[in-house]
Amino acid sequence: MRIVLKVPATTANLGSGFDTLGMALSLYNIFTVKEIFDEAKFSCEVIGEGMDELRDSDSNMIVKSYKRACEEWRVKPKGFALESCNAVPLNRGLGSSSTAVVAGVVLANLICELNKPEAELLRVMTLIEGHPDNVVPCFIGGMTVSCWDGENLRYVRLPALPENLNVIAAVPDFQVHTEDARKILPESVPFRDAVFNVSHASILCAAWAMGRWDLLRVGMEDRLHQPHRAKLFPGETGEKFLREIAAHPDCVATAISGSGPTMIAIVHGKAGKLASAMCKIFTEGNAASHFFVLNCAPMGTVIDI
Protein backbone atom coordinates (compact mmCIF):
# COMPACT_ATOMS: atom_id res chain seq x y z
CA MET A 1 0.00 0.00 0.00
CA ARG A 2 1.25 3.49 -0.93
CA ILE A 3 -0.50 6.41 0.76
CA VAL A 4 -0.12 10.09 -0.14
CA LEU A 5 -1.59 12.84 2.04
CA LYS A 6 -1.80 16.48 0.93
CA VAL A 7 -2.27 18.46 4.14
CA PRO A 8 -2.87 22.25 4.21
CA ALA A 9 -1.37 24.95 6.39
CA THR A 10 -3.75 26.82 8.66
CA THR A 11 -4.11 30.18 10.33
CA ALA A 12 -5.85 29.98 13.69
CA ASN A 13 -6.76 32.06 16.75
CA LEU A 14 -8.13 34.45 14.14
CA GLY A 15 -8.39 37.83 15.83
CA SER A 16 -11.13 37.55 18.42
CA GLY A 17 -11.47 33.78 17.92
CA PHE A 18 -8.80 32.49 20.31
CA ASP A 19 -8.66 28.66 20.29
CA THR A 20 -11.89 28.68 18.27
CA LEU A 21 -11.57 30.04 14.72
CA GLY A 22 -9.28 28.66 12.05
CA MET A 23 -8.87 28.64 8.28
CA ALA A 24 -7.14 26.24 5.88
CA LEU A 25 -4.63 27.85 3.50
CA SER A 26 -3.38 26.84 0.06
CA LEU A 27 0.12 25.92 1.26
CA TYR A 28 0.73 22.20 1.69
CA ASN A 29 2.86 19.49 3.23
CA ILE A 30 2.88 16.25 1.24
CA PHE A 31 3.34 13.08 3.28
CA THR A 32 3.98 9.78 1.48
CA VAL A 33 3.99 6.35 3.09
CA LYS A 34 6.22 4.30 0.78
CA GLU A 35 6.17 1.01 2.64
CA ILE A 36 4.27 -0.55 5.55
CA PHE A 37 5.89 -2.99 7.99
CA ASP A 38 4.24 -5.60 10.17
CA GLU A 39 6.35 -4.56 13.14
CA ALA A 40 6.34 -1.06 14.64
CA LYS A 41 9.53 0.27 13.06
CA PHE A 42 9.66 3.68 11.37
CA SER A 43 11.89 5.64 9.01
CA CYS A 44 11.47 9.29 8.03
CA GLU A 45 12.91 11.20 5.09
CA VAL A 46 12.28 14.96 5.18
CA ILE A 47 12.56 17.36 2.25
CA GLY A 48 12.13 21.11 2.65
CA GLU A 49 11.10 22.81 5.89
CA GLY A 50 12.41 21.08 9.00
CA MET A 51 14.68 18.68 7.12
CA ASP A 52 17.31 18.97 9.87
CA GLU A 53 14.93 18.88 12.86
CA LEU A 54 12.44 16.18 11.83
CA ARG A 55 14.58 13.26 10.65
CA ASP A 56 14.50 11.41 13.98
CA SER A 57 11.52 9.08 13.77
CA ASP A 58 11.25 8.83 17.56
CA SER A 59 10.51 12.56 17.87
CA ASN A 60 8.69 12.98 14.56
CA MET A 61 5.19 14.36 15.32
CA ILE A 62 3.55 12.27 12.59
CA VAL A 63 4.88 9.06 14.11
CA LYS A 64 4.03 10.19 17.65
CA SER A 65 0.47 11.11 16.62
CA TYR A 66 0.10 7.82 14.75
CA LYS A 67 1.15 5.86 17.85
CA ARG A 68 -1.12 7.95 20.09
CA ALA A 69 -4.12 7.31 17.83
CA CYS A 70 -3.40 3.59 17.78
CA GLU A 71 -3.22 3.66 21.57
CA GLU A 72 -6.49 5.58 21.80
CA TRP A 73 -8.21 3.06 19.52
CA ARG A 74 -6.49 0.09 21.20
CA VAL A 75 -4.92 -1.38 18.08
CA LYS A 76 -1.40 -2.68 17.56
CA PRO A 77 0.53 -0.21 15.39
CA LYS A 78 2.29 -1.31 12.25
CA GLY A 79 5.39 0.52 11.05
CA PHE A 80 6.03 2.52 7.90
CA ALA A 81 8.60 4.31 5.77
CA LEU A 82 7.62 7.98 5.44
CA GLU A 83 8.67 10.76 3.10
CA SER A 84 7.70 14.31 4.10
CA CYS A 85 7.86 17.11 1.55
CA ASN A 86 7.29 20.19 3.70
CA ALA A 87 6.37 23.65 2.46
CA VAL A 88 4.82 24.91 5.73
CA PRO A 89 7.40 26.76 7.89
CA LEU A 90 8.04 25.38 11.38
CA ASN A 91 7.11 27.31 14.54
CA ARG A 92 5.78 30.27 12.55
CA GLY A 93 2.05 30.11 13.37
CA LEU A 94 0.95 28.38 10.17
CA GLY A 95 -0.05 25.05 11.67
CA SER A 96 2.97 22.89 10.78
CA SER A 97 2.47 20.75 13.91
CA SER A 98 -1.21 20.34 13.07
CA THR A 99 -0.37 18.97 9.63
CA ALA A 100 1.64 16.28 11.42
CA VAL A 101 -1.10 15.52 13.96
CA VAL A 102 -3.74 15.25 11.24
CA ALA A 103 -1.48 13.06 9.09
CA GLY A 104 -0.64 10.75 11.99
CA VAL A 105 -4.28 10.16 12.92
CA VAL A 106 -5.36 9.69 9.30
CA LEU A 107 -2.56 7.17 8.76
CA ALA A 108 -3.56 5.21 11.87
CA ASN A 109 -7.11 5.01 10.54
CA LEU A 110 -5.98 3.91 7.07
CA ILE A 111 -3.12 1.55 7.89
CA CYS A 112 -5.07 -0.21 10.64
CA GLU A 113 -8.19 -0.31 8.41
CA LEU A 114 -10.47 1.12 11.11
CA ASN A 115 -12.91 3.20 9.02
CA LYS A 116 -13.47 5.73 11.81
CA PRO A 117 -15.98 8.52 11.04
CA GLU A 118 -14.93 12.14 10.60
CA ALA A 119 -16.10 13.18 14.06
CA GLU A 120 -13.99 10.50 15.77
CA LEU A 121 -10.90 11.36 13.74
CA LEU A 122 -11.29 15.02 14.70
CA ARG A 123 -11.83 14.14 18.35
CA VAL A 124 -8.54 12.26 18.51
CA MET A 125 -6.73 14.98 16.54
CA THR A 126 -7.97 17.58 19.01
CA LEU A 127 -7.09 15.37 21.97
CA ILE A 128 -3.50 15.18 20.70
CA GLU A 129 -3.21 18.84 19.67
CA GLY A 130 -4.98 20.19 22.76
CA HIS A 131 -7.24 22.63 20.92
CA PRO A 132 -9.28 22.41 17.72
CA ASP A 133 -8.75 25.67 15.84
CA ASN A 134 -5.89 24.31 13.68
CA VAL A 135 -6.66 20.61 13.26
CA VAL A 136 -10.33 21.04 12.29
CA PRO A 137 -9.74 23.29 9.24
CA CYS A 138 -6.59 21.33 8.42
CA PHE A 139 -8.67 18.18 8.10
CA ILE A 140 -11.97 19.44 6.63
CA GLY A 141 -10.89 22.69 4.93
CA GLY A 142 -12.42 26.16 4.70
CA MET A 143 -13.09 28.40 7.67
CA THR A 144 -14.19 26.59 10.84
CA VAL A 145 -15.65 27.45 14.24
CA SER A 146 -14.98 24.88 16.97
CA CYS A 147 -15.46 24.34 20.68
CA TRP A 148 -13.77 21.71 22.83
CA ASP A 149 -14.32 20.93 26.51
CA GLY A 150 -11.55 18.36 26.80
CA GLU A 151 -13.79 15.47 25.77
CA ASN A 152 -16.45 16.67 23.32
CA LEU A 153 -15.82 18.50 20.07
CA ARG A 154 -18.38 20.58 18.21
CA TYR A 155 -17.56 22.32 14.94
CA VAL A 156 -19.16 24.20 12.05
CA ARG A 157 -17.62 24.71 8.62
CA LEU A 158 -18.22 28.15 7.13
CA PRO A 159 -17.87 29.02 3.43
CA ALA A 160 -14.39 29.60 2.05
CA LEU A 161 -13.36 33.13 1.16
CA PRO A 162 -14.53 34.27 -2.29
CA GLU A 163 -11.99 34.14 -5.10
CA ASN A 164 -11.43 37.91 -5.06
CA LEU A 165 -10.14 37.82 -1.47
CA ASN A 166 -6.64 36.48 -0.84
CA VAL A 167 -4.62 35.90 2.32
CA ILE A 168 -1.14 37.36 2.67
CA ALA A 169 1.09 35.56 5.16
CA ALA A 170 4.19 37.58 6.10
CA VAL A 171 6.68 35.14 7.64
CA PRO A 172 9.70 36.51 9.57
CA ASP A 173 12.97 34.63 10.07
CA PHE A 174 12.50 34.18 13.82
CA GLN A 175 10.35 31.61 15.63
CA VAL A 176 7.77 31.74 18.40
CA HIS A 177 7.01 28.47 20.17
CA THR A 178 3.41 27.81 21.15
CA GLU A 179 4.42 27.13 24.76
CA ASP A 180 6.02 30.58 25.07
CA ALA A 181 3.03 32.25 23.41
CA ARG A 182 0.68 30.61 25.93
CA LYS A 183 2.83 31.43 28.95
CA ILE A 184 2.61 35.14 28.21
CA LEU A 185 -1.20 35.15 28.39
CA PRO A 186 -2.85 36.31 31.65
CA GLU A 187 -4.72 33.82 33.84
CA SER A 188 -7.74 36.15 34.02
CA VAL A 189 -9.06 39.13 32.05
CA PRO A 190 -11.36 42.05 32.89
CA PHE A 191 -15.05 41.33 32.36
CA ARG A 192 -15.34 44.14 29.81
CA ASP A 193 -12.56 42.54 27.70
CA ALA A 194 -14.35 39.19 27.77
CA VAL A 195 -17.57 40.89 26.59
CA PHE A 196 -15.58 42.74 23.91
CA ASN A 197 -14.25 39.46 22.49
CA VAL A 198 -17.57 37.63 22.65
CA SER A 199 -19.25 40.42 20.68
CA HIS A 200 -16.48 40.75 18.12
CA ALA A 201 -16.13 36.99 17.59
CA SER A 202 -19.88 36.80 17.09
CA ILE A 203 -19.76 39.56 14.50
CA LEU A 204 -16.84 37.85 12.77
CA CYS A 205 -18.66 34.51 12.47
CA ALA A 206 -21.95 36.10 11.39
CA ALA A 207 -20.24 38.35 8.85
CA TRP A 208 -18.29 35.40 7.41
CA ALA A 209 -21.42 33.27 7.13
CA MET A 210 -23.39 36.06 5.42
CA GLY A 211 -20.59 37.33 3.17
CA ARG A 212 -20.39 40.69 4.95
CA TRP A 213 -16.67 41.04 4.28
CA ASP A 214 -16.82 44.74 5.19
CA LEU A 215 -17.24 43.70 8.84
CA LEU A 216 -14.22 41.40 9.07
CA ARG A 217 -11.89 44.18 10.19
CA VAL A 218 -14.07 44.90 13.21
CA GLY A 219 -14.67 41.22 13.90
CA MET A 220 -10.93 40.53 14.05
CA GLU A 221 -10.36 43.07 16.86
CA ASP A 222 -9.16 41.32 20.00
CA ARG A 223 -8.25 41.99 23.63
CA LEU A 224 -7.54 38.46 24.89
CA HIS A 225 -4.33 37.32 23.25
CA GLN A 226 -2.95 39.54 20.49
CA PRO A 227 -1.96 42.53 22.68
CA HIS A 228 0.09 40.14 24.84
CA ARG A 229 1.59 38.05 22.04
CA ALA A 230 2.58 41.16 20.11
CA LYS A 231 5.15 41.75 22.88
CA LEU A 232 7.04 38.61 21.79
CA PHE A 233 7.97 40.38 18.54
CA PRO A 234 11.23 42.39 18.41
CA GLY A 235 10.88 46.05 19.29
CA GLU A 236 7.35 47.28 18.69
CA THR A 237 6.91 45.22 15.52
CA GLY A 238 3.81 43.36 16.71
CA GLU A 239 1.96 46.41 18.02
CA LYS A 240 2.91 48.42 14.95
CA PHE A 241 1.71 45.69 12.64
CA LEU A 242 -1.72 45.37 14.27
CA ARG A 243 -2.12 49.14 14.23
CA GLU A 244 -0.75 50.12 10.81
CA ILE A 245 -1.69 47.13 8.64
CA ALA A 246 -5.26 47.16 9.97
CA ALA A 247 -5.49 50.76 8.74
CA HIS A 248 -3.97 50.06 5.31
CA PRO A 249 -6.46 50.88 2.52
CA ASP A 250 -5.97 47.48 0.83
CA CYS A 251 -6.47 45.48 4.05
CA VAL A 252 -9.82 43.81 4.72
CA ALA A 253 -8.71 42.31 8.07
CA THR A 254 -5.48 41.38 9.84
CA ALA A 255 -4.32 39.19 12.72
CA ILE A 256 -1.42 37.35 14.28
CA SER A 257 -1.47 33.89 12.71
CA GLY A 258 -1.74 31.17 15.32
CA SER A 259 0.84 31.82 18.04
CA GLY A 260 2.87 33.98 15.66
CA PRO A 261 5.18 35.35 14.51
CA THR A 262 3.59 35.13 11.05
CA MET A 263 1.15 37.96 10.42
CA ILE A 264 -1.77 37.50 8.06
CA ALA A 265 -3.91 39.97 6.19
CA ILE A 266 -6.94 39.42 4.02
CA VAL A 267 -6.68 41.57 0.90
CA HIS A 268 -9.14 42.50 -1.82
CA GLY A 269 -7.58 42.38 -5.28
CA LYS A 270 -3.84 42.88 -5.84
CA ALA A 271 -1.64 42.01 -2.89
CA GLY A 272 1.70 43.63 -3.77
CA LYS A 273 1.45 46.92 -1.88
CA LEU A 274 0.06 45.38 1.29
CA ALA A 275 2.58 42.51 1.28
CA SER A 276 5.43 45.02 0.91
CA ALA A 277 4.06 47.09 3.79
CA MET A 278 3.87 43.99 5.99
CA CYS A 279 7.44 42.92 5.29
CA LYS A 280 8.65 46.51 5.73
CA ILE A 281 7.47 46.47 9.33
CA PHE A 282 9.50 43.34 10.02
CA THR A 283 12.51 44.96 8.34
CA GLU A 284 12.16 48.00 10.60
CA GLY A 285 12.31 45.57 13.52
CA ASN A 286 15.59 44.14 12.15
CA ALA A 287 13.96 40.88 11.03
CA ALA A 288 14.18 39.44 7.54
CA SER A 289 10.91 38.09 6.16
CA HIS A 290 9.18 36.69 3.12
CA PHE A 291 5.54 36.39 2.17
CA PHE A 292 3.04 34.03 0.59
CA VAL A 293 -0.11 35.10 -1.24
CA LEU A 294 -2.58 32.31 -0.56
CA ASN A 295 -6.22 31.35 -0.88
CA CYS A 296 -8.56 29.91 1.70
CA ALA A 297 -8.34 26.21 0.86
CA PRO A 298 -11.92 24.88 0.49
CA MET A 299 -10.70 21.28 0.79
CA GLY A 300 -8.80 19.98 3.78
CA THR A 301 -6.61 16.89 3.81
CA VAL A 302 -6.65 15.02 0.51
CA ILE A 303 -5.93 11.28 0.55
CA ASP A 304 -4.56 9.35 -2.44
CA ILE A 305 -4.13 5.61 -2.12
Interior angle at CA 209, CA 207 and CA 210, nearest 5: 65
Starting at the edge strand found earlier in the chain, the sheet holding 289-294 runs 251-256, 263-268, 165-172, 289-294
- Between CA 62 and CA 232 the distance in angstroms is 28
**DSSP secondary structure string, 14-65?**
-TT-TTTEEEEEEEEEEEEEEEEESSS-EEEEEEETTTTTS--TTT-HHHHH
List CB contacts of 45: < 8 A, sequence separation 6 or more.
Answer: 55, 81, 82, 83, 84
Three-state DSSP class for 285? Answer: coil
Q: What is the dihedral of CA 169, 30, 99, 79, to 10 degrees?
A: -160
Predicted structure pTM score:
0.95
Q: Quick one: pLDDT at residue 152? A: 94
| Per-residue pLDDT, 212 | 96
Q: Which pLDDT value is given to residue 292?
A: 96
**Cβ count near 57 (within 10 Å):** 17
Looking at residue 221, its pLDDT comes to 96
CA distance 239 to 216: 19
CA–CA gap between residue 267 and residue 250 (Å, rounded): 6
pLDDT at 25: 98
Q: What is the mean pLDDT of each run of 10 residues along the chain (305 residues)?
A: 95 96 98 96 92 76 97 97 96 95 98 97 97 97 96 94 94 86 92 97 96 95 94 86 92 94 93 94 92 95 94
